[in-house]
């Protein structure tokens, strides 16, 4: 591996602040800008993708709802969930959107396997599932061959807010998490493993970077 992946561990960041920073980063980057991976958590929030239907948020219960520019329907973010945002130059990596989706799914499944959790993909429904229950959601945006947004992996969180929505637009879809399946309950530990697997599958060298939301100069 020669090219680098700048890995930023950002802690807990409000959803809209991270989203707007991703947009700005992507708009400002050039052909020589390093790819970045942002690892973080969000305070409780529901997000609706470009095609998201508000009807799938059945009862927000006071949790904010943000309509965003990623693909997909509705999901929930909250403390105890590892969010991995991938700011990648797909053309430079030789990846299309489908290839990136497959790479992310396989990376999550590889990480889960380290804790003897068997993940699977589902045709036509991006993400990773364990025994039919969703454990990781994907939502991406690609602009001029460069990606942002990414994936969310449930680790050790309050899953109750998922019951107020139709996760990913599928009524009755159950969700699960790493800690309930015998894996670690520490999101930082899971994030570290996931970062290493993602970097390797992308053919990039992971490099720890300052915990700031950077915009290329």
Question: pTM of whole model > 0.85?
Answer: yes
Please indicate if the annotation marks 137 as binding a ligand. yes
Distance of CA 13 to the CA centre of its chain: 14
Catalytic annotation present for 103: no
Nearest to 165 by CA among 65, 40, 81, 43: 65
Please indicate if the annotation marks 132 as binding a ligand. no
Tens of pLDDT, residue by residue over 139-172, are: 999 999 999 999 999 999 999 999 999 998 999 9
State the pLDDT confidence band at 217, using cuts at 50, 70 and 90: low
Please indicate if the annotation marks 151 as binding a ligand. yes
Tens of pLDDT, residue by residue over 24-82, are: 999 999 999 999 999 999 999 999 999 889 999 999 999 999 999 999 899 999 999 99
Please indicate if the annotation marks 10 as binding a ligand. no
Q: Please state the length of the chain.
A: 217
Task: Enumerate long-range contacts of 56-62, CB under 8 Å, 24 or more apart.
Answer: 56/165, 56/166, 56/169, 57/164, 57/165, 58/164, 58/165, 58/166, 59/164, 60/164, 61/161, 61/164
Q: Which tokens hold the place of 158?
A: 């309050």
| Class in CATH terms, 4-208 | alpha beta
- Cβ-contact 189, 181 below 8 angstroms: no
Set 86, 90, 135, 168: catalytic member: 168
Please indicate if the annotation marks 147 as binding a ligand. no
The separation between the first and the last C-alpha atoms of the chain, rounded to the nearest angstrom, is 25
């Amino acid at each position: 591996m020669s090219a680098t992946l700048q890995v930023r561990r950002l802690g807990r960041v409000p959803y809209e602040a991270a989203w707007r920073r991703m947009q700005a980063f992507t708009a400002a980057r050039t052909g020589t800008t390093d790819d970045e991976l942002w690892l973080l958590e969000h305070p409780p929030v529901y997000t609706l993708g470009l095609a998201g239907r508000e009807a799938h948020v059945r009862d927000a219960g006071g949790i904010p709802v943000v309509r965003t520019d990623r693909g997909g329907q509705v999901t929930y973010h909250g403390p105890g969930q590892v969010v991995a945002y991938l700011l990648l130059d797909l053309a430079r990596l030789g990846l299309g959107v489908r290839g990136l989706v497959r790479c992310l799914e396989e990376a999550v499944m590889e990480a889960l396997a380290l804790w003897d959790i068997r993940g699977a993909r589902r045709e036509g429904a991006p993400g990773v599932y364990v025994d039919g229950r969703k454990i990781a959601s994907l939502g991406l945006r690609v602009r001029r061959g460069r990606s942002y947004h990414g994936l969310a992996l449930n680790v050790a969180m309050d899953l109750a807010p998922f019951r107020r929505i139709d996760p990913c637009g599928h009524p009755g879809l159950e969700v699960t998490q790493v800690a309930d399946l015998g894996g670690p309950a520490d999101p930082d530990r899971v994030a570290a493993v996931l970062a290493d697997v993602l970097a390797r599958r992308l053919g990039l060298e992971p490099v720890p970077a300052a915990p700031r939301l950077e915009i290329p100069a």
